Structure 1
Amino acid sequence: MKINKSYVVASAIIASTSILPLGNVEQVDAASKTVTVESRVNFRKGPSKKYASIRKLHKGYKLTYLGKSGRWVKVKYKGKTGYVYDSYVSSVKGSGSNKNESNNNKSSLVSYAKTKLGKPYVWGAQGPNSFDCSGFTYYVVKNKLGKSIPRTSTEQSRYGTYVSKGNLRAGDLVFFDTVGSNNGNVSHAGIYIGNGQFIHASSTQKKVVISSLASGHYSKAFVNGRRL
C-alpha cells in the first residue's frame, strides 16, 4: 500500500499540537479559596430555595469556594458540591487574581466618600450635595463602584456578604440599630474606612462625618457589616 508522506507529516503535527500533557492544563486551585459559615444555613443542590437541602451547615464550618451565581455561593463540603445563600457565609478568603483590584476599588471608594465630608444631612436625599444615611452609601457605591444597591438601610444590610465586626475591611458597609432598643433592627448605615472608623451621614450632627465604632453609642448599636 502506498503511504502518502504528506498525510503522515500532517498527522504528526496535529498530534503534537492537540494532545497536551495534563500538567500544561491550567488548573484552578479551588482549595485556596474558602468561606466560613456565619449562621446556620441550608446547603442546597442548586442556586435557589426551590432546590432541596442536602443538609444543614452550622456556624464555623469552612467550605471550599467554587464560584457564585447571583446571591448564591457555590461551595464544596465533605466531597459534596452545592449552594448556600451569601448572607450566611463570610467573604471569600485565600489567593485570587482579583484581590489587588478589589482592594484598590475599595480604597478608591473610601477616598471618594471622604470628598463628601461636611455635606448636609437631609432626610430622603441621595446626593450629590446632601444625603440621608442610606442615601449616602447608595450614592457613593453607585458612583464609585458602578453598583446599584438597595436604597434603604434595612435592605442594604442584607445585600452582599456578611462581615462580622472583627473582620471589617475598608470599603465595607456597616449597619446599626440606633433607635435604642438594640434588637438588631437596622436603622442607620455607613462605610467603614479602617482603623475602627466609619464615615456616614449623621442625622444628629446634621452632616457627613467620621465616627468611631468604639464610641459608646455605635459600639452597642452595631448590627453587621456587608462586603460588596
Structure 2
Amino acid sequence: MRVLAILIFVTLLSACSSAPSQSLSAGKKNVSSNASETKNQLIQMHREWKGVPYRLGGMSKKGIDCSGFVVQTYQSRFGVQLPRTTAQQKDIGKSVNKSQLRAGDLVFFKTGWSTRHVGIYLGDSQFLHASTSQGVMISSLNNSYWKQKYWLSRRP
C-alpha cells in the first residue's frame, strides 16, 4: 500500500497536475499570429490572476497549478482547449527554438528529477506562470533559476 501511495505521489508531481486530460479543440485559433494582441490578452490574464496561490490539481482562483493555469488562459483568452498536464502539453503543436519564441508559446522547465513546470511566453524574455512559491506571476527566462531549468518550448 505504501509503495502504491509513493507511486501515485511521484506521478502527480511529474505531471504538475492530477486532473484528467482534455483534447485540443477542433477550431483552434493561431494564438501567435498577432503577437501584440496575444501579449495584451496575457497581461490582462495576469492582472486578473496575479497572486492566486499555487495548488496541485487546482483550477480556480482559490488555487491553481502551472498546467491548469495554461489551460485556463488558453481557454478564456483564446478559446483554445489544451491538454491538462505538462506531460501532455509538452507534446502539442510544434517545437520552437528559444531564440524564436513569440508571445503565447509554451515554455517548459525541468525543476526536479521528475517534476516539470510550464509557463506562457510574453516576449522580452518574460513568461507568465503559476509559481509554487508566489502563485500566478511573471518571471524572466534570464533569472538564474529559470535559465538553468529551461527545457523546451512549444507553439500550440
TM-score by length of 1: 0.50
Separation (CA, whole Å) in 2 of partners of 1:219 and 1:100: 23
Specify the code of the residue in structure 2 equivalent to 1:135. Answer: G
Specify the code of the residue in structure 2 equivalent to 1:159. Answer: I
Separation (CA, whole Å) in 2 of partners of 1:214 and 1:159: 25
Separation (CA, whole Å) in 2 of partners of 1:136 and 1:165: 21
The count of aligned residue pairs is 127
What is the RMSD computed on CA atoms of the aligned residues? 2.3
Separation (CA, whole Å) in 2 of partners of 1:106 and 1:100: 6
State the match for 2:154 in structure 1: 226
Which structure dedicates a bigger proportion of its chain to helix? Answer: 2
Q: How does 1:200-211 map to 2 (within 5 A)?
A: 200-205=129-134, 207-211=135-139
Q: Which has the higher contact order (CA 8 A, sep 6+)?
A: 2
State the match for 1:132 in structure 2: 65
State the match for 2:96 in structure 1: 163
Note the residue ranges of structure 1 that are not aligned, 5 or more in a row: 1-69, 71-97
Give deviations 1:55-111, integer Å, cap 9, x for gaps.
xxxxxxxxxxxxxxx8xxxxxxxxxxxxxxxxxxxxxxxxxxx89954355224312
Q: Does the Cα contact within 8 Å between 1:154 and 1:186 map onto a contact in 2?
A: no
State the match for 2:56 in structure 1: 123
Separation (CA, whole Å) in 2 of partners of 1:144 and 1:166: 25
TM-score by length of 2: 0.72
Residues 109 and 224 of structure 1, relative CA distance in 2, 3 Å threshold: farther
State the match for 1:199 in structure 2: 128
The structure that has the greater radius of gyration is: 1
State the match for 1:86 in structure 2: none
Note the residue ranges of structure 2 that are not aligned, 5 or more in a row: 1-25
Separation (CA, whole Å) in 2 of partners of 1:196 and 1:190: 12
